[in-house]
Every structure is written in structure tokens, then in C-alpha cells.
Amino acid sequence: MREPASGQLSYSHLAHAELNALAQLPPIRRYEDYVVLTTLEPCLLCVGAAVMATVGRVEYAGADPYGGTAHLQVKNAHTARLMPPINGPSEGALGVIGALLHYAFYAERNPDGVVVAAYREAMPEFVKDVDENGLTSEVLRLKEERRPLADVLALFG
């Protein structure tokens, strides 16, 4: 078993970058002037962490039709008072890259699985475009070669 990073969750289904970042905020004040920026539409755990950490806003690049929860409305007294606005997905290449990284990961790992199926159902044009243009294969090739994220960004000019 791997040792967790100091002060962080790791090697766990709960180990999300957003959660680890928000857990570093001391609970002595509110953080309305903070923005959580994330590559992929936040999951329920990360939205909950943003509410509990009292951040001002959440912005995400790529849509996640499988686990994304930006569209959910949690209605209770706590969230009515502290729910931050959640904005996304981003337009253009940034939004495509966010979703493409997630889609490519699961297309390689389990092409017949539920995550890929969710993309095919909710975002059929996206799947068609990235697959037909070779972007999924190219991202996976860059990953295999352990190339930097800048090389993925270069795919979009």
C-alpha cells in the first residue's frame, strides 16, 4: 500500500485534488473571494467540499456526463446560504481538452464501460469528433510517451 502524501488523501476513492486543496483552508473564516478551478465538472464530493469550505465560486473546463454534478440542486438551509455558483463547461479548446482527457482515460481502460457509454449517450457529437479526428488516440499516445500536458494543448493550435 502507498503512503499518503503529508496532510492529503491519496490512494483512495476520496482522493480528489479539489478536496485536498479545500481541506487546507482553515475553518476560521469564509472564503467567498476564492475560486475553485478544475479541469473536469466537479463530482458530488467536490461540490460538497466547496460548500463546506465556503468558497465563492467553482469553475470547470470539461463536461463530465458520468459523474459531473454541476446541474444538481441541493436544497437545504445550509446550501441555500453557502452554495457557490458553478460555471462551465468552458467554450472552445479548453472545454474539449477537459472532457477529452477524461474520456480518453476511460476509453483506454474500459471502452465498453459505463463512463464511455455516458459520453456516447450524452455527448455523441463530441465522441464522434474526437474519435474521427484521432484526438483520443493522440492523447493516449502522448500519455504512453509520458509527454507533458503542453503537448496535449498543442493539439489545439
Query: C-alpha distances in angstroms, 73 versus 10, 23, 30, 123?
Result: 29, 23, 22, 22
Neighbours of 33 (CB within 10 A): 8
Reference 153, options 96, 91, 87, 88; nearest CA is 96
Query: pTM of the full predicted structure?
Result: 0.88
Q: Could you list the pLDDT tens digit for every one of the 157 residues in the chain?
A: 567 677 788 888 889 999 999 999 999 999 999 999 999 999 999 999 999 999 999 999 999 999 999 988 888 998 888 899 999 999 988 999 999 999 999 999 999 999 999 999 999 999 999 999 999 999 889 888 999 888 888 888 7
* 68 CB-side CA count, 13 A: 25
In this structure, what C-alpha cell is assigned to residue 127? Answer: 465522441
**Which pLDDT score, from 0 to 100, does residue 39 have?**
94
State how far the Cα of 24 lies from the Cα of 102, in Å rounded to an integer: 26
In this structure, what C-alpha cell is assigned to residue 84? Answer: 457557490
On whether the CB atoms of residues 97 and 153 are closer than 8 A, the answer is yes
